[in-house]
Amino acid sequence: MSSEIRTSDSVILSVQHVAKSFHHKKILKDVSFQLSGASASVLIGPNGVGKTTLLKTLAGVMRPDSGEAHLVSLPLFTENFSHRKHLIYWSHQSLFYPAFSGMENIRFFLSLRNQSIHDQKIIEQLDYFGLLPQINDPVRIYSAGMLQRLTMIKMILSDWKLALMDEPTSALDVDGLDHLNHLMKQWKEDGRALLFSTHDIGWAESWADTALCIRNGVIEQEISSPKFQDMHHFLSEKR
């Protein structure tokens, strides 16, 4: 899978003037930025500034009021959904069907991406992530950490160029966080683009090449190679 990616020099996501409001309140006013391959960007900002709204809008869960976005040069906000195969969305909810087992959920979501994969490969991943004993259990009975691990398996087995991740570290134990760190490194090396939000700015410092600092519905600052202090300073400013 990784051999197909290698698009590090090109722009993978370009967002221009995206706006979104709820009940006449403008959450996103004018958001513009670009993401390149082999890079990770963190969205930081106080609670309620629209980080999740922006990720959901780019993922196709919400409709923007205005603005444009291009994913590998293809328009994102259109009725042609086929090129959404290049993106994958990791929400802070687990996005699985509760009555299905982990295996069935993975198989179903891969089929939507027109990917067929041998069951043995899914079993190997379930084993690696310690979920093999629950192979036939419905995900309804999984813990939050187990669901996060299952999401990692979905990400590993899917082909994508851009990952939109909303609080990926939440509910992960030390072992789960180690898995995620390993994957973040792998994905960047593969040339993929990562856009994530997190309140753990220490973790963000380890991975982010750019911090997109969002406030008042716009990207107020873009910080290259952000340090903990830079992000902490932005978050503690009162405006």
Residues that bind other proteins in the complex, under the rule CB under 8 A: 56, 59-63, 79, 81-85, 87-89, 91, 93-100, 104, 108-109, 111-114, 138-140, 147, 164
Which residue, 9 or 79, has its beta carbon nearer to other proteins? 79
Question: What torsion, rounded to 10 degrees, do the Cα atoms 185, 130, 158, 94 define?
Answer: -100
| Nearer to other proteins among residue 106 and residue 231 (C-beta) | 106
Q: Residue 25 or 63: which CB sits closer to other proteins?
A: 63
Least gap, CB of 72 to other proteins (angstroms): 13
Least distance between other proteins and beta carbon 165 (Å): 12
| Shortest distance (Å) from residue 160 CB to other proteins | 10
Radius of gyration, CA atoms only, the chain? 18
For residue 157, the minimal CB distance to other proteins (Å) is: 14
3-state secondary structure 68-130: EEEECCEECCCCCCHHHHHEEEECCCCCCCCCCEHHHHHHHHHHHCCCCCCHHHHHHHHHHCC
Distance CA 10, CA 148 (A): 30
Residue 76 vs 231, nearer CB to other proteins? 76
Contacts for 187 with CB less than 8 Å, ≥ 6 apart: 163, 194
**Residue 57 Cα to chain centre, angstroms:** 12
Smallest gap, in angstroms, from Cβ of residue 113 to other proteins? Answer: 6
Which is closer to other proteins, CB of 36 or CB of 94?
Answer: 94
Contacts of 55 by beta carbon, 8 Å cutoff, 6+ apart = 43, 89, 91, 164, 165, 166, 195, 197
CB of 17: closest distance to other proteins in angstroms?
19
Q: Which is nearer to other proteins, 30 or 159 (CB)?
A: 159
CB 184 within 8 A of CB 207: yes
